[in-house]
């Protein structure tokens, strides 16, 4: 990476899985001697700190607020600013993260001859980004130098026009500090974590937990994450489990939140990777995950370091959770086996894969 100029494009500096991973890579490239510029489309109310050596440029995209004409004018202005930045900084490669930002980077770089790498962090077909953006995505992605999927499932879901230039570089799971406490196995607390959106399947989990609570009256469910919890609270009230279900909101300390549980439920309808799932496994927390499209099936080895169930199958999810709640030996065995996920999905492996990819895109000799 030494001596290379890299432009990273990101939606914002708001804390999220894709954003944290993008900043970790950018900081590592800067530490290796690359000149790294990070361009963000949107302002963040509580931005994450920039890694040392990374220069930030704000592009002031209007986002989804305002009238349609105003948004269109703002988007075109943002495209012009990004194109001017590419011309002025003359990067060896542009690395863009997340669907709409990927489209913006590809449009802004047209005709400039700069290698463009775009990273898909979610299921590229099932995850909604709007009709216009989706049309632009499938028109621009075939022009990318390379498309990265954060799991093999993401790559497999791409249309044929994109798949030939796509490669999977899985996300990594950071090892937890060695002095953390053990998971609260025996607490009968089911924990879940993620944005409160339909993708994450928390409605399925609440239905399943109602079955769990009927057989384990002492069990509780805590869901951590941002979003509108009113529909889920109403669902819990209808099922008569309000007192057993807590919506804990966003946490700055996800590891502590996960360690408060006996088992993690991960009921997603689809994923890109499943970072919260991997982080729970690294902590030694037993997990029950939906074997949905992309992600969990690549992280969890069924009945070895976690339990996989069919997606949107309430009965199967409830039975798997009950198995782990009722059998402490099983919970300990699954949790202990799960810890090696930090070896299977290490940062060093991802770093070397990225180094080889960028060397290939820029025509430089890859590291040995």
Distances from the Cα of 289 to the Cα of 157, 224, 306, 310, 346, angstroms: 20, 16, 8, 9, 21
10-residue mean pLDDT profile of the chain (368 residues): values are 90 90 96 96 87 94 80 90 97 97 97 97 93 94 97 96 95 95 95 97 99 97 96 98 97 96 98 97 98 96 98 98 98 98 97 95 68
Domain 189-344 is found in CATH 3.40.50.300: no
Residues 6 or more apart whose CB falls under 8 angstroms from that of 38 comprise 8, 10, 22, 23, 26, 50, 54, 55, 56, 57
Taking the C-alpha atoms of residue 180 and residue 166, their distance in angstroms, rounded to an integer, is 38
Taking the C-alpha atoms of residue 307 and residue 33, their distance in angstroms, rounded to an integer, is 43
Whether the Cβ atoms of residue 224 and residue 292 lie closer than 8 Å to each other: no
Domain 5-172+346-362 is found in CATH 3.40.50.2000: yes
Whether the Cβ atoms of residue 336 and residue 183 lie closer than 8 Å to each other: no
pLDDT digit string, tens, across residues 306-347:
999 999 999 999 999 999 999 999 999 999 999 999 999 999
Q: Is 151 exposed, middle or buried (0-12, 13-18, 19+ CB in 10 A)?
A: buried
- For 175-272, where are the alpha helices, taking DSSP H only? 202-215, 230-238, 254-259
pLDDT of 365 = 59
- For 109-151, where are the alpha helices, taking DSSP H only? 131-140
pLDDT of 366 = 54
- Residues 100, 104, 108, CA angle at the centre, nearest 5°? 170
User: The pTM is what?
Assistant: 0.92
Per-residue tokens: 319: 């039975």
User: CATH 3.40.50.2000 occupies which residues in the chain?
Assistant: 5-172+346-362, 189-344
> For residue 227, what are the β-bridge partners?
196
- The residue assigned the tokens 């069924």 is 302
Task: Report DSSP state, residue 177.
Answer: P
Count the neighbouring beta carbons within 10 Å of the beta carbon of residue 315: 12
Taking the C-alpha atoms of residue 87 and residue 21, their distance in angstroms, rounded to an integer, is 26
């Amino acid at each position: 990476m030494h001596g290379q100029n890299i432009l990273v494009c990101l939606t914002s500096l708001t804390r999220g899985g894709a954003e944290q991973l993008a900043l970790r890579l950018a900081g590592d490239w800067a530490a290796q001697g690359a000149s790294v510029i990070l361009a963000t489309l949107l302002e963040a109310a509580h931005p994450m700190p920039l890694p040392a050596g990374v220069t930030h440029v704000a592009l002031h995209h209007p986002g989804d607020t305002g009238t349609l004409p105003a948004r269109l004018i703002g988007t075109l202005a943002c495209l012009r600013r990004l194109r001017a930045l590419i011309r002025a900084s003359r990067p060896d490669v542009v690395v863009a993260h997340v669907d709409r930002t990927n489209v913006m980077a590809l449009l802004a770089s047209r005709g400039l001859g700069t290698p463009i790498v775009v990273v898909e962090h979610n299921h590229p077909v099932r995850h909604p980004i709007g009709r216009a953006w989706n049309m632009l995505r499938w028109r621009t992605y075939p022009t990318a130098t390379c498309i990265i999927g954060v799991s093999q499932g993401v790559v497999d879901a791409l249309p044929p026009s994109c798949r030939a230039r796509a490669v999977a570089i899985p996300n990594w799971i950071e090892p937890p500090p060695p002095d953390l406490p053990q998971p609260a196995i025996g607490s009968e607390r089911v924990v879940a974590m993620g944005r409160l959106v339909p993708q994450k399947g928390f409605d399925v989990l609440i239905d399943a937990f109602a079955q769990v609570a009927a057989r384990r009256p002492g069990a509780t469910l805590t869901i951590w994450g941002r979003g509108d919890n009113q529909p889920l609270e109403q669902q819990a009230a209808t099922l008569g489990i309000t007192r057993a279900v807590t919506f804990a909101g966003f946490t700055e300390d996800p590891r502590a939140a996960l360690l408060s549980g006996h088992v993690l439920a991960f009921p997603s309808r689809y994923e890109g990777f499943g970072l919260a799932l991997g982080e729970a496994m690294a902590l030694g927390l037993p997990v029950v995950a939906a074997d949905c499209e992309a992600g969990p099936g690549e992280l969890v080895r069924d009945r070895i370091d976690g339990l996989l169930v069919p997606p949107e199958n309430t009965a199967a999810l409830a039975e798997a959770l009950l198995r782990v709640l009722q059998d402490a030996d099983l919970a300990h065995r699954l949790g202990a086996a799960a810890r090696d996920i930090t070896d299977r999905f290490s940062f060093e492996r991802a770093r070397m894969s990225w180094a080889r990819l960028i060397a290939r895109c820029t025509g430089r000799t890859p590291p040995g």
